[in-house]
Amino acid sequence: MNQDNFENESTLNGTYHPEQEDSGSDRDSSNSVYSMSSGEIEDHFIERHDRRFHSHGNGRPGQYPFPVDDLESQRLDHMHDLVKDLLDGHNYRGPVQQTLAVRADGHRVRILDIGTGNGKWVEEMADEFPHTKVYGLDIVPLATRYPAENVQFEVHDINSTTRWAQGRFDFVHMRQTCFSPVNVTSVIREISRILRPQGLFLACEWIPGIFRMDGSDVTPLTNHSTEILNRLHDFSTHQRLFCDPSSIPVMLIESAAFENVVAERHFVYLDETALGRRAKQSLLDFARASRYYLLDSGIAVSEIGQYLMDLRSGLDNGGEMCLIYLTVYARRKVMLQ
C-alpha cells in the first residue's frame, strides 16, 4: 500500500476532527481539516467481483450497493449530463441564482453537496458561481485532490453531525442518494441546522422504475423487463437501504424546519430521440451497476444476465414509456418551531 502523504498539498480530499468546527474563514484551517495519505484513501475501498467498492460495511446488510471506480464514475458523468439536459442546461432547479447572489456585506456564499461522488456537480457549480465556496462531502474519497480554489472535498459519513456551525450554508444539494446508507430523516435535521434562515435545500432523485404513459395517467410498468429493477428495489428495501424519493417533500414538511416546499416531476420519454436513447442507456448502465449487489443477495449470475437482456429488449420494444426525475426544493424557515 502506498503511504505517500498529501498533507502539504494545498487542496485535499480530507477528513476532519468532529469536535473542531470550521473557522469561518474562506479557507479551512489546517487544524479543522487534514489531508489524507494515500494509505488512508485506499482503506476506504475493497476489491470485489473485479470492481472497486466501499470498504464501509463490507459484506454487511445495508452497505452502499454500487461500485466506486472509474467505470462507475463514467456512468455518473453520463447521468450528470443527462440530468443537466433535462433541467434545460442547469445543474439545479428553484431560486438558486437568487440564493447565491453576491452579498453586499461581503459574506462569502457557501454551497454544500452531500454524497458528492466524483464531484462533477461541485466543480461545475464552482465554475458557474466563482464568488462562492463549494464543499463536496462523501463517505469515500472519490473526487479530485486538485480542485479549483473555491472547491473543497471532504470525507464524511453524513449520518453523523458535520463540523460546521449552524447557519453556515446558503445552499445544500443532495442528488441520487436514495440507494445509499443514509438516514434521510436525520440528514434533513442536519441540513436544517447548517442552512442559514431562508437558505435553500435541493434534493434530486430518479423515482425508481419505468413508467407507462396512459393518456394523462402515469403508472409504474411491471413486467419481466422491469424484474431487475423490482429485485433491486425489494432487496434494498429489505436491507433498509432504500429511501423512497417521493416521501422527501413530506419529510421536509414534517421536519417543521422548511417552508415553500416545491416538488416537480420531470419526464424523460424512452423514445428514439437523442435524449430518449441516452436515458435508455443510462437505465441499462444503472441496472448493470446494480448486478453485484443482486449477486450478493443470492440471485444467480445467469438469472441476472437474463434480467438484463429482458430489460434491454423491453426498452427496445416498449411503447410509451418514461423515467421520472424528481426535484424538491425548500427554504429553511427563519424561526424553527
Which residues make up the interface to ligand SAM (CB under 6 A)?
64, 68, 76, 80, 115-117, 137-140, 142, 157-159, 175-177, 180-182
Q: At what angle do helices 120-128 and 70-86 cross, to 10 degrees?
A: 50
Task: Tell me how far, at minimum, the Cβ of 185 lies from ligand SAM, in Å.
Answer: 13
Residue nearest to ligand SAM (CB): 117
Task: Tell me how far, at minimum, the Cβ of 125 lies from ligand SAM, in Å.
Answer: 12
Can you tell me the distance from the alpha carbon of 291 to that of 68, in angstroms, rounded to the nearest whole number? 14
Pick the closer one to ligand SAM by CB: 68 or 191: 68
Task: Tell me how far, at minimum, the Cβ of 195 lies from ligand SAM, in Å.
Answer: 17
Beta bridge partners of 71: none
Cβ–Cβ < 8 Å for 330, 196: no
Cβ–Cβ < 8 Å for 136, 152: yes
Report H helices in 264-300: 274-289, 291-296
Task: Tell me how far, at minimum, the Cβ of 290 lies from ligand SAM, in Å.
Answer: 11
Pick the closer one to ligand SAM by CB: 128 or 310: 128
Residue 204, CA distances (Å) to 5, 33, 68, 239, 317 in order: 36, 28, 20, 22, 29
Task: Tell me how far, at minimum, the Cβ of 56 lies from ligand SAM, in Å.
Answer: 8
Q: Name residues whose C-beta falls within 8 Å of residue 26's C-beta, 6 or more positions apart in sequence.
A: 108, 133
Pick the closer one to ligand SAM by CB: 140 or 252: 140
Output phi, psi for 331, to 5 deg. Answer: -95, 140
Pick the closer one to ligand SAM by CB: 5 or 74: 74
Pick the closer one to ligand SAM by CB: 137 or 315: 137
Report H helices in the chain: 38-42, 70-86, 96-99, 120-128, 184-194, 227-238, 248-254, 274-289, 291-296, 301-317
Task: Tell me how far, at minimum, the Cβ of 8 lies from ligand SAM, in Å.
Answer: 26
Pick the closer one to ligand SAM by CB: 76 or 279: 76
Pick the closer one to ligand SAM by CB: 125 or 257: 125
Task: Tell me how far, at minimum, the Cβ of 174 lies from ligand SAM, in Å.
Answer: 7
Nearest alpha-carbon partner for 159 in 122, 185, 136: 185
